[in-house]
A and B are shown apart, each in its own frame.
Chain A
């Protein structure tokens, strides 16, 4: 079980993704922000709960958790067929992290994630080196958070190389913190 650190913010944010559930009991406090959480949801109702809630309630049999539509069978087939054209940011911003959390329940998901990541990351590295063009921008828009971070790292590495070419690699730099907040 690849459970990240307790303090990991990304893990917390990924766990907030909703999954559809069927309630087996009446539950209170599941209303949306507007109603102030005093609405009661009755048994046998379908409701989308955040994953951190649904997972534990499912263990106690208070709800029946179903697989999120992000990883439905049809979606999984699409992912294996053409991973590079998927708009992950539209589908789920924390696609990989959320998938890892769901992977405890659905054993096919980790393998699927791995294949997808392996194929997409090659493209990410390629567009980091290419610089700006239309295709790169479109693809960069479709990345989820994990991939976006990888892209940024690749781009930083690229700029470090060009700095080194200019013989600027060892210049002492002003710390970023002080630069942005100087009065």
Chain B
């Protein structure tokens, strides 16, 4: 049925959860846009056809008048015969007209249906891309706007346009951040990818290194983060590494 391909896209968009995104279904998107283009072509054809059909329908009464003007000669034949001929002509014309009108009505309805489907396709396409872009933005903020940190298994599932979108979004945010940094916190560096909604409990946290991070610079000097070691560090220094998963927060309970 019309609009089924678009429905499949909408279902795929529904599959996107907080931690999972299916691959960009280029094939399905192509099918939907193809259907949309075909529908638009048909709509234009049908409207062109409608114009000729309505002029043809308007022409029918004039044919009827011509037919009647040929009949007066038969008035001498007798009133009933003439009226029979008249009726035949009229029923012919009316069936012709009603057939044409049915045709016009069908075409109108068909055009309306195609137009509806077209809008539906458009809506599904837009919603699909909107949902994916939403997921990407959330992902970038959890990765602290480091677009290079996107796991390769994830970036495989994104289309090239989406990868560009992710990079540009991160870059845009970073440049904005740099521009306002001086004004917002003159003496410190601005880290606005830290979670602003959850107030921190401790100043220092205990972390265990899961993946080798190399060295980080803290206020107390350089710390070497080797896999398997535990450190007691400033929360602000290592928070982002915990989110990405390189470090593990150990909770004293």
Chain A residues engaging chain B, CB cutoff 8 angstroms: 6-10, 12-13, 16, 24-33, 37, 50, 52-53, 56-57, 60, 62, 166-168, 170-183
Contacts and interface: CB of A to CB of B under 8 A. Distances in A.
Among A37, A50, A60, A177, residue most surrounded by chain B Cβ atoms (within 10 Å): A177
A29 B1 contact: yes
B105 A178 contact: no
Given A7-B131, A16-B7, A29-B1, A168 B110 contact: no
16 contacts: A8-B127, A9-B13, A9-B131, A12-B127, A25-B105, A26-B109, A50-B3, A56-B116, A62-B109, A170-B200, A173-B249, A174-B244, A174-B245, A176-B18, A177-B19, A181-B153
Given A12-B123, A28-B110, A183-B151, A175 B243 contact: yes
A116 B14 CA distance: 25
B82 interface: no
A6 B126 contact: yes
A25 B106 contact: yes
Interface string B13-55: 1100011100000000000000000000000000000000000
B178 interface: no
B251 A57 contact: no
Contacts, number: 132
Given A9-B131, A16-B7, 15 more contacts: A7-B126, A7-B131, A25-B109, A27-B109, A29-B117, A32-B1, A50-B1, A53-B3, A53-B117, A57-B116, A170-B198, A174-B243, A175-B143, A176-B19, A178-B143
| Nearest 6 A/B pairs, CB to CB | A176-B19, A62-B109, A172-B249, A25-B109, A175-B142, A172-B242
Contacts of B251: 167-168, 171
Interface in B63-121: 102, 105-106, 108-110, 112-114, 116-117, 120
B112 A7 contact: no
B152 A183 contact: yes
Given A27-B113, A174-B243, A175-B142, A37 B1 contact: yes
B112 A62 contact: yes
A168 B116 contact: no
B57 interface: no
Contacts of B10: 9, 12-13, 16
B154 interface: yes
A28 to B, nearest CB: 6
Contact of B244 (A6, A62, A166, A178): A178
A166 to B, nearest CB: 6
A3 B111 CA distance: 25
A114 B151 CA distance: 44
B130 interface: yes
B220 interface: no
B62 interface: no
A170 B153 CA distance: 29
B146 to A, nearest CB: 11
Contacts of B205: 172
Contacts of A7: 126-127, 130-131
Given A12-B127, A16-B7, A171-B251, A180 B245 contact: no
Interface in B195-253: 198, 200-201, 205, 239, 242-245, 248-249, 251, 253
B4 interface: yes
Given A30-B1, A174-B243, A53 B113 contact: yes
B2 A56 contact: no
Among B19, B113, B131, residue most surrounded by chain A Cβ atoms (within 10 Å): B113
